[in-house]
Amino acid sequence: MKILLTGASGYIGKRLLPLLLEQGHEVVCCVRDKRRIPSEGIYNHQGVSLFEADFLKEITDVSPVHDIDCAYYLIHSMSAGIKDFEIMEEISATNFLSLVSKTSAKQIIYLGGIANHTILSRHLASRKKVEEILASGTVPLTAIKAGIIVGSGSASFEIIRDLVEKLPFMITPRWVNTRTHPIAVRNVLEYLTGVLLRSETLGKSYDVGGADVLSYKEMLLQYAEVRGLKRFILTVPVMTPRISSYWLYFVTSTSYKLAVNLVNSMKTEVVATPNNLREMLGIVPLSYRKAVQLAFQKIEQNDVVSSWKDSFISSYADSSLFKHIDIPSDGCFVDRRLKLISANEEQVLNNIWSIGGKRGWYYADWLWGLRGFMDKICGGVGLRRGRTNMHTIYNGDTLDFWRVLAADRPEKRLLLYAEMKLPGEAWLEFRIIEKEGDKYLQQTATFRPSGLSGRLYWYLVSPFHFFVFNGMANNLVKYTRAI
């Protein structure tokens, strides 16, 4: 069977792809920029091909996908903005439907949100509208609608994790008493694969949930129990959505845009309407506690397959990120360090590939932390995003307040682009080069200022750069301790 998979580099898509390949399907992965896709790993599987398309624009060439049997729609724009995500979602769904209508597809499978309450948030109303658009075409739609998805790297799980791990005592708004229906990510994947070209599910819409219906407060406290933590929650009657959003933004790794949309959604009860899909597919729903335990097994084994933070849309509403892969030279400030590698070259490469996150930046981590805090204060992403895996990294991954543009281990090169708030643009590049028979670490920081404010910024931080960048380069070639 030939399947079109949109959102192939997203949180669910990355987990669904290997399951489809294990079942023997041929998968066409729809991506907005092929440069983001790693040159190794599952995307090199003989059953995988890439189709470059941006559904915010009309797709004219359907030849690579004209003979597909089924198409998954896993595109989601909630974190792309506060004001215009509904418009983006409608445009994307309309263009996707136009494309699939020109193929031989017999089914569209859509992962949406539970939206059966009388009063819906903008996010859930948008998800419902997308379902209506997809159902309006000639290709039968099967809609799988979930609430909070619990798994390592999911946005909801990581937010709960940040809150509970960091705050022994929480003062929370009333929305923590709202009921919701969490579901383990592996149950979601079972539903998505189970309905594939199953005739009874064509033209149908199903709510799916786990074994428990819980309030957000109960989810926080049960998480704490699983982790062996004692936590206290005080609910106050008055806390505006704006204050709630700022609270989430400063305490967790979420962006402010996503925090606003999440808070608005959390005021709406999200509980699945009973149906026969679970029995039809023979799925056993996991409890919330079990889902949390399984998520931490993946985290402790450093086996997190995907994270919401690595989603392309989490930073850019278009395909503009990789236009920065060519580092400019004109009008730029450059800090370049060249350090002789006298020890093991492979260890230095491992150090580069493990930079950021828990390991830190090898020198003056408190200054990096201060810079991250300042970035949060200014509305930026800060350092809390960390990294998805401790030792592996791919194009497009987040790395604290950087984004990975190129992670080419055979070429011994890592290129990062700054997503912090800056009066300009910044790149940080690490290379291992050979010079006169010796191996060197070449570390280059490039800053392209925007106007006078950008130039003043560079001169102000240059004294810190002298110590931080020099210390970092020195330790990268010396550091041998594993974590």
Domains of the chain: 2-307 (3.40.50.720), 328-478 (3.30.530)
Number of CB atoms found within 10 A of residue 240's CB? 10
Check: CB of residue 94 under 8 Å from CB of residue 101.
Answer: no
Q: Does the CA dihedral 158-153-156-273 come out positive or negative?
A: negative
Give the per-residue pLDDT at 80. Answer: 47
**Residue showing tokens 């910044």:** 426
Q: Is the whole-model pTM more than 0.85?
A: no
Question: How far is Cα 481 from Cα 459, in angstroms, rounded to an integer?
Answer: 34
Instruction: Report the alpha-carbon distance of residue 309 to residue 255 in Å, rounded.
Output: 9
CA distances from 325 to 49, 282, 389 (A): 23, 47, 22
Cβ neighbourhood burial of 96 (10 Å; 0-12, 13-18, 19+): buried
Counted residue by residue, the chain has a size of 483
In a structure prediction context, what are the per-residue pLDDT tens digits for the chain, which is 483 residues long?
999 999 888 889 889 999 999 999 999 998 887 776 766 667 778 898 999 888 988 888 888 899 999 999 998 765 444 456 788 889 999 999 999 999 999 999 999 999 887 777 777 888 899 999 999 999 999 999 999 899 888 878 888 888 888 889 988 878 788 899 999 999 999 999 999 999 999 999 999 999 999 999 999 999 999 999 999 988 887 766 667 777 677 777 666 666 666 666 677 888 999 999 999 999 999 999 999 999 888 876 666 666 666 654 444 444 455 567 788 888 899 999 999 998 789 999 999 999 998 889 999 999 998 888 888 888 777 777 778 778 888 888 888 889 898 888 889 999 999 988 899 999 999 999 999 889 999 999 999 999 899 999 999 999 888 899 999 999 999 876 544
Cα angle, residue 436 at apex, residues 435 and 438 outer, rounded to 5°: 65
Confidence at residue 116, expressed as pLDDT on a 0 to 100 scale: 81
* Two structure tokens written together for 429: 């590049």
**The residue to which tokens 């086996």 are assigned:** 303
CA dist 207 to 90, 112, 191, 278, Å?
21, 9, 10, 10
Contact (Cβ atoms closer than 8 angstroms) between residue 425 and residue 438: no
